[in-house]
Structure 1
Amino acid sequence: MSLVITSSTINCRSFSLSRPFPSWINGDNSPSLLGEIPAAFSRRSSAIFLTRVSCAKNPDDYHSTLKSLNSRGRFPRKSLGQHYMLNSDINDQLVSVADVKEGDFVLEIGPGTGSLTNVLLNLGATVLAIEKDPHMVDLVRERFAGCDKFKVLQEDFVKSHIRSHMLSVFENRGDQDFALAKVVSNLPFNISTDVVKLLLPMGDIFSQVVLLLQDEAALRLVEPALRTSEYRPINILVNFYSEPEYNFRVPRENFFPQPKVDAAVVTFKLKHPKDYPDVSSTKSFFSLVNSAFNGKRKMLRKSLQHLSSSPEIEKALGVVGLPVTSRPEELTMEDFVKLHSVIANE
């Protein structure tokens, strides 16, 4: 079986929320944030419910998500990149792309109200969630209390020692007859690049990373064109450590608050370390790549002068079949691997 980590938790007991809803949720015409919510959602039934069962049953909808936020008096925080999913069908599609099955172990980043977590638990996955917002941590802990397949840690993911957390999970499971874990997350938009950089080199722990990102960011990561300004070092990193795939677009109307751009689901099928491109040192390889792009408008024989002299760089380019006037945006990941090999052996 495989391991899946999510960002939401499951509450196994029925409950009611004591705080009254503000008028904008109850549906009257007083000034509110409702204008930010898609009209298609605002026309839905005003019946609002959220139940906790064993471990998860009812899917989260527009009303239950807003009710969860209101129960804590919380509104999405721009500083945390919080945009909450209002369409449970999107969560179903996200989990389907990840092929989550019973017995999987999933890591979720930023579970929010636990709507995606709920879907993961319903499928029989065990979920480890990492959440920075203490109010959301309390919410999902309460919601999924009593469910032994869920755990949430209050941490900033980009500062979290996720490898240590995962190794502890592996050790505590006892049996070794299971597949690698998965990452499935409706990711806070403002940390997407940092998350990708942290997770993709973990092919010894995760089999795949399935993320909901800003659509523009997703396209830049998966489908960058050579000789364009969108081609950057992270594209080399993505293809070095994974096989990326753009799955489907998610219109901005599915979120609260509504972002200024659409989102998209992307799958990164991680390579196992034994299958990484053959370089003598990943550290020196990416040092070369970053140095090359630091002088993006410069030819490589200029931007890499701190590694070798210009004549030596020109010679190395010739050895790998590239023009001596090559610039970084003209090289594929394979080209950089070959160039690094020649320079490292000089």
Structure 2
Amino acid sequence: MAAIPQAVSHVLPLQPFPPYPLPTPSPSRTGARHRRGESFIACSKGLRGSHDDYHATLRALNSKGRTPRKSLGQHYMLNNDINEQLVNAAGVKEGDVVLEIGPGTGSLTNVLIHAGATVLGIEKDPYMASIVTERFAETNRLKVLQEDFVKCHIHSHMSSFLASIVSDMKPRYAKVVSNIPFNISTDVVKQILPMGDIFSEVVLLLQEETAVRLVVSALRTSEYRPINIFVNFYSGRCSSCEV
């Protein structure tokens, strides 16, 4: 039986939050109000995605004759409602800077850009890097680096990217919003969470067993592992929900 993806949200406490208030989502969409300094998840089950984005994703794949590569942990989100809820969970708004790990065909990227974010995408697969770059060739809100995330110097890349943003209020922090390749989930968490000096929030879509292992495992149980200590040390409020 296939694992059920889960969305996991972290707020990193190591540095002050950005000097702007996070937006308060509508209670009717999330089921809960969001207070600054807390994490939240907005997700639902069984929703049909946007037909436009569904077909855009399929067209992008067909144009290159591509299918998901299991060796890279690839999977493509065809439900645009889930993408929108990931973006809402991170409180992405105009002027935000977002790191997206494994943008693939750009379905989540599209929602991030329409929310007003400037996106740095890290894509290992050169074919996918080409697809997402071509799809957003007419916008200056996306930069794609064709690199292996677990081997690249993400802190250096992100610092340079933040410094390159031209705006009246230069952003001090970035957010991470990603539907990450499942085979690098733990590696991503280990790299991202200690970077509280550069990332204010992290929202990831993970396989169910990974989310449970990282977030739900209770202290003094056989499921509680060193990775749980790591997550609890480096993150503030942390939550997960099934999508």
Same fold (TM over 0.5): yes
Find out whether 1:80 has 2:72 as its counterpart.
Answer: yes
Find out whether 1:132 has 2:145 as its counterpart.
Answer: no
Distance 1:177 1:152, change over 3 A: closer
Structure 1 residue runs without a partner (length 5+)? 3-39, 49-58, 251-346
CA drift of 1:67 comes to 1.9
Higher RCO (CA < 8 A, seq sep 6+): 2
- 2:35 — aligned with what? none
CA drift of 1:229 comes to 2.6
- 1:66 — aligned with what? 58
Alignment of 1:108-127 (within 5 A): 108-127=100-119
CA distance in 2, matches of 1:68, 1:123: 22
Identity fraction in percent: 68
Which has the higher Rg, Structure 1 or Structure 2? 1
- 2:207 — aligned with what? 214
Contact 1:117 1:127 survives alignment (8 Å): yes
Deviations 1:66-125 (A, max 9, x none): 221111000100000011111000001110000000000000000010000000000111
CA distance in 2, matches of 1:60, 1:110: 17
Contact 2:53 2:80 survives alignment (8 Å): yes
Which residue identity is paired with 1:105?
V
- 1:224 — aligned with what? 217
Q: In the alignment, which of 155, 164, 177 is matched to residue 147 of structure 2?
A: 155
- 1:7 — aligned with what? none
CA distance in 1, matches of 2:63, 2:171: 38
Alignment of 1:148-227 (within 5 A): 148-173=140-165, 177-227=170-220
Deviations 1:31-53 (A, max 9, x none): xxxxxxxxx97xx9xxx8xxxxx
CA distance in 2, matches of 1:153, 1:221: 28
Q: What SS does the aligned partner of 1:246 have?
A: strand
Q: What SS does the aligned partner of 1:84 have?
A: coil
Distance 1:220 1:232, change over 3 A: same
Which residue identity is paired with 1:189?
F
CA drift of 1:177 comes to 4.5
Task: Spell out structure 1 runs of 4+ moving beyond 3 A.
Answer: 173-177
CA drift of 1:245 comes to 2.3
Deviations 1:203-222 (A, max 9, x none): 00000111000111111111
- 2:133 — aligned with what? 141
More helix by share: 1
Which residue identity is paired with 1:230?
E
Which residue identity is paired with 2:183?
N
CA distance in 2, matches of 1:249, 1:204: 29
Q: In the alignment, which of 80, 83, 92 is matched to residue 91 of structure 1?
A: 83
Which residue identity is paired with 1:158?
V
CA drift of 1:244 comes to 4.3
Matched residue pairs, number?
Answer: 199
Which residue identity is paired with 2:97?
F
Deviations 1:268-296 (A, max 9, x none): xxxxxxxxxxxxxxxxxxxxxxxxxxxxx
Q: In the alignment, which of 226, 229, 238 is matched to residue 233 of structure 1?
A: 226
CA distance in 1, matches of 2:133, 2:117: 17
RMSD of aligned Cα (Å): 2.3
Which residue identity is paired with 1:122?
H
Contact 1:224 1:230 survives alignment (8 Å): yes
Q: In the alignment, which of 99, 105, 109 is matched to residue 107 of structure 1?
A: 99
Structure 2 residue runs without a partner (length 5+)? 1-17, 20-46
CA drift of 1:132 comes to 0.4
Q: What SS does the aligned partner of 2:53 have?
A: coil
